[in-house]
Chain A
């Protein structure tokens, strides 16, 4: 019984319920937008995913900064976990944006500021993860990766304000402190966008938590292997398991 209750009140169940409710709101509840028609419903996915991508780099840089300051592995793990989830959100923000651009702008891609700076964010994530994958392990790798992340975070405010500063085709901001006060938030659009943002934020947190736990276990195994002499048969089994993953 306790197990069932724990499952019902677990963050995963909460995320699934919220996601289901959001999909119902997007496809059933919210009316079709008059200017763009049905395709405008992509907004309710595209904006929260792009928000997740920006939140990701903020967590990566905050974790990196705290790692440099406190020298605690916890923050480094949080940064790596967030970067990996962030690259998924960043890639999806670009993909969903491109698919939306085709029917409304008639092109898949245009070189305007918001799109270009988001692409740069994606490359920052990829550079960070590649650096961590290929640079020799050690504290130097962690320190240099942390610096890349902190420098990369400069891109976040540029992305946020890009639509207002250099907008050509991308619509101006509808959420946040720099949003147009006459934006349609507060209407049904705002309700669905808010629900979707909450759902994707929770999903982001869950994915980061899952990745963090795996990373923690991996680090503990590495430390253990370094400090203990393991039987060659055990090492052989482990390397076989890694080879099949």
Chain B
């Protein structure tokens, strides 16, 4: 019965999480990604970004149009991160991406409304971000999280088995004593 209550509580928590995160999960399911380097940028007369082209590790080129809602999270060489939307920084976006192109810095682009015409993929970029390899502190945080979670879970499981073992031993002792 106790196990059932734990199971039920876990189920309620899981359902709550799913309901809470459903919109973002649905968005994640429908948002394809491209990792690669910038190989081309197109700007208008006011030097505002219109499109850019990314080449992934297999050499596939993807052209991205930008919209007012496109989000940017790009770092400069010093590691300072610039976060804004296209509406508020279309010129800076062109400048930053051009800098990334010169430095061959990989970026991650999530996009929507992808179309393919004679092998050329085109989409509307929803977010353009650095792969963050430059940020040593951030990376160390992620490594710490992975190793800490892994070992905490393993030790918790071993502890759980130890408790189970103890109960079984107790039961055996009780049964043995009753048989004497």
Contacts and interface: CB of A to CB of B under 8 A. Distances in A.
A107 interface: yes
A212 to B, nearest CB: 11
Nearest to A109: B28
A116 to B, nearest CB: 9
Nearest to B11: A130
B69 interface: no
Interface residues of A, number: 51
Q: How big is the B interface, by class?
A: 35 or more
B28 A107 contact: yes
Contacts of A130: 7
Given A37-B134, A92-B153, A111-B29, A103 B170 contact: no
Given A91-B153, A105-B33, A241 B167 contact: yes
Given A39-B142, A105-B35, A169-B35, A95 B2 contact: no
B161 interface: yes
Contacts, number: 137
A106 interface: yes
A221 B35 contact: no
A29 interface: no
A184 B134 CA distance: 22
A211 interface: yes
Interface in A210-245: 210-211, 214, 217-218, 221, 224, 230-231, 234, 237-238, 241-243, 245
Interface string B62-97: 000000000001000000000000000000000000
B25 interface: yes
Interface stretch (A42-50, A65-73, A142-150): A42-50
Contact of A218 (B34, B127, B168): B168
Nearest to A235: B174
Interface in A49-100: 49, 85, 88, 91-92, 95-96, 99-100
B150 interface: yes
A38 interface: yes
Given A92-B150, A99-B149, A238 B132 contact: no
The 10 closest A-B pairs by CB, nearest first: A111-B29, A37-B133, A39-B139, A106-B108, A106-B129, A38-B139, A245-B167, A234-B178, A103-B132, A217-B168
Interface of A is mostly: helix
B156 to A, nearest CB: 9
Contacts of A104: 35, 108, 131-133
B133 A35 contact: yes
A217 to B, nearest CB: 5
A41 interface: yes
A110 interface: yes
A100 B161 contact: no
A85 B161 CA distance: 11
A14 interface: no
A42 B7 CA distance: 31
B67 to A, nearest CB: 18
B165 interface: yes
